[in-house]
Amino acid sequence: MPKLRVHNLSISLDGYVAGPNQSEEHPLGVGAEALHEWIFATDFGRAMMGEEPTGVGGLDEEYASRWGVGIGATIMGRNMFGPIRGEWPDYSWTGWWGPNPPYHHDTFVLTHHPRPSLEMEGGTVFHFVNDTPEAVLKRAYEAADGKDVTLGGGASTVRQFLRAGLVDSLHLAQAPILLGAGERLFDDVGTLPGYECTKLESSPAVTHLTFERVAR
């Protein structure tokens, strides 16, 4: 049975997955780049940046490289797609990733201000949807055609799906830093009833925590 997965979501010790004041200059919010240093030190991350591999491997490489495996569709919030808020002034913004985003499948962007679907190079098609998590997930499963669906950020988007009990697997990479401000993941989700931490492993850079849904 296909699953909804959150993978490689970096989080600070004080629970932030993004810093404050997101902008084109600070896509992750001010200070939040430090959350992701672990992934860009892996060969998976280096490849994303067009850099040469090191061949070092290790635990972080194992987790990082699982991103995208067995995935047929993606869901993300509008904050992950870009820094523009409110009505779209035009349709010139096409995401952070250039003409060929890394998804290569149907990608559903949650927004209160829909716009026409956007076809990109490599097979990525962004669909801008204003609907419930359940309805969007149904569309994503249909688009994934039997594969899993991945849920990207931001924090508000992941919280919506957690509160609805729709996330099957949640992988967090906790970095040993404090951000102090920004977007917190676990606000207003209580104790996550129906989920348990099934795996905890640490590298010198981060602690990997995996939560699984144990009750439907």
Judged against a pLDDT cut of 80, whether residue 215 lies above it is answered with: no
Judged against a pLDDT cut of 80, whether residue 208 lies above it is answered with: yes
d(CA 175, CA 151): 20
Distances (CA, A) of 124 to 9, 24, 64, 106, 115: 21, 21, 21, 6, 16
Residue 48 pLDDT? 86
State the pTM of this model.
0.94
Per-residue pLDDT tens for 100-146? 999 999 999 999 999 999 999 999 999 999 999 999 999 999 999 99
Average pLDDT over residues 184-210: 94
Per-residue pLDDT tens for 23-71? 888 888 899 999 999 999 999 999 988 899 999 899 999 999 999 999 9
Residue 23 pLDDT? 87
d(CA 55, CA 50): 15
- 154 Cβ partners below 8 Å, 6+ apart? 17, 18, 77, 79, 80, 183
Neighbouring C-alpha atoms within 13 Å toward the C-beta of 194:
13
C-alpha of 107 from chain center:
12
d(CA 154, CA 9): 9
Which of 166, 150, 168 lies closest to 69, judged by CA? 150
Confidence band for 216, pLDDT divided at 50, 70 and 90 = low
